[in-house]
A = this chain, B = another copy of it.
Amino acid sequence: MQTIQGGVCAAKGFKANGVHCGIRKNKTKKDLSLICSAVPASCAAVYTTNLVKGAPLTVTKAHLADGTAQAVICNSGNANTCNANGVEIAEQMSALLADALGIRAEDVVVASTGVIGLPLEIEPIAAGIPALVQGLQDDGSADAAEGIMTTDTIKKEVAVEFTLGGTTCRIGGIAKGSGMIHPNMATMLVFITTDAAISPAMLQKALSGDIANTFNMVSIDGDTSTNDMVTVLANGMAGNETITEEGADFTAFMQALNTVTVQLCRLIASDGEGATKLLECKVTGAADLPTAKTVAKSVICSSLLKAAMFGADANWGRVLCAIGYSGAAVDVDKIDVAFRSAAGTIEVCKNGAGVDFSEETAKTVLLEKEIEILVGLGSGDASATAWGCDLTYDYVKINGDYRT
């Protein structure tokens, strides 16, 4: 498996584009994106667990009932959520795009990200679709990635090449960050494409299995958006034997998918609102997987720890504290904690008690941009990783500014 360029256009038969259609006032910011497959594709999706759900999710869910889709349309600047006419607008977006592409409206994935409770006008979208479709390109992934950005500071694109039964396949994705942003109630949106042939059922199985260990282990600020969605389109154009059951090919596909999703998780977390550092909490030695996950997420979600990491402060007491209130049954006297980065590793807690360490070395380790928080629970073989970022002045600034 190797990393390649091309994002959602890396796989055969996928084109993409992004344009400014006018939902946003800033004309230099693209606000409408499109990803399109040359042929109908298997499609799987996972949605936010928030009871308050964006209208686009309702429409997409209905469209994907048959496990097939061919295009993804997504606007930024407005979440189309908590609006009386939200479903109607999302259906209009789908229908307009389907007409322009000559595909079925039921094969359109529709998504929105932005402010909640502000009616989304169809006019700019309707006016933008012709240019959006006309501009579809083999190398349009970056434009599509830009069109879904909100306060994201970097475009998030990943792709890898791998083989299934000797056939070269590709899988790639774009994402927007999960920070909750001004003036928007933002969202984690991930769109993945692959030319591997896989049945809708197995694609859903792969995605559902994967996100439990990837996107569900990312936290920027603990808030779960109303519009979070991850979709995968698999158009089969690589020509491999279609995956219809578990086995070597399914395992290889899962590995490739995981490589893409982990990298997108890292990009999303490191670009969390106001973030200056990527934090990865790696828990090992847990009695079971739920314990490992619970501990990793509790640590990565602690505002105190996040603020300490911003300050490059090796305040391991906050790690222990977050483990203690996580709800997981752990033996406190067996907990080891270390911090690791490109600058080295520093052990700070052994068997639940502090160890002598050089504050100078600790600072050197923690001043790096990517910090691993290593937690050993000494109670078994289960492990888990969670991703997050530091809590900074800019997070408060971004989210505290006046909406109006």
Contact = CB atoms under 8 A, between A and B. Distances in A.
Interface string A188-205: 000000000000000000
Given A50-B325, A51-B325, A332-B51, A116 B317 contact: yes
Q: How many copies does the complex hold?
A: 2
B317 A401 contact: no
Given A83-B353, A316-B117, A395 B392 contact: no
A302 B301 CA distance: 12
Given A223-B303, A396-B310, A396-B395, A363 B321 contact: no
A131 interface: no
B396 A391 contact: yes
Contact of A363 (B323, B332, B402): B402
Contacts of A401: 311, 313
A351 B86 CA distance: 15
Contacts of A325: 49-51, 223-224
Most buried by B among A51, A221, A222: A51
Interface string A343-364: 0000001001110000100010
A322 interface: yes
B404 A359 contact: yes
Contacts of A403: 308, 311, 313-315, 359
Contact of A391 (B311, B314, B321, B400): B400
Contacts of A83: 353-354
Given A221-B304, A359-B404, A185 B396 contact: no
A76 interface: no
A224 B304 CA distance: 10
A70 interface: no
A379 to B, nearest CB: 13
B226 A303 contact: no
Given A304-B223, A318-B185, A402 B311 contact: yes
A378 interface: no
B391 A52 contact: no
Contact of A353 (B84, B224, B329): B84
A316 to B, nearest CB: 7
Interface in A275-333: 301-304, 307-308, 310-318, 320-325, 329-330, 332
Interface of A: 49-53, 79, 81-84, 115-118, 180, 182, 185, 221-226, 301-304, 307-308, 310-318, 320-325, 329-330, 332, 349, 352-354, 359, 363, 390-393, 395-404
Given A116-B354, A117-B320, A363-B404, 10 more contacts: A82-B352, A115-B317, A180-B303, A221-B304, A226-B321, A226-B324, A307-B398, A311-B399, A391-B400, A392-B400
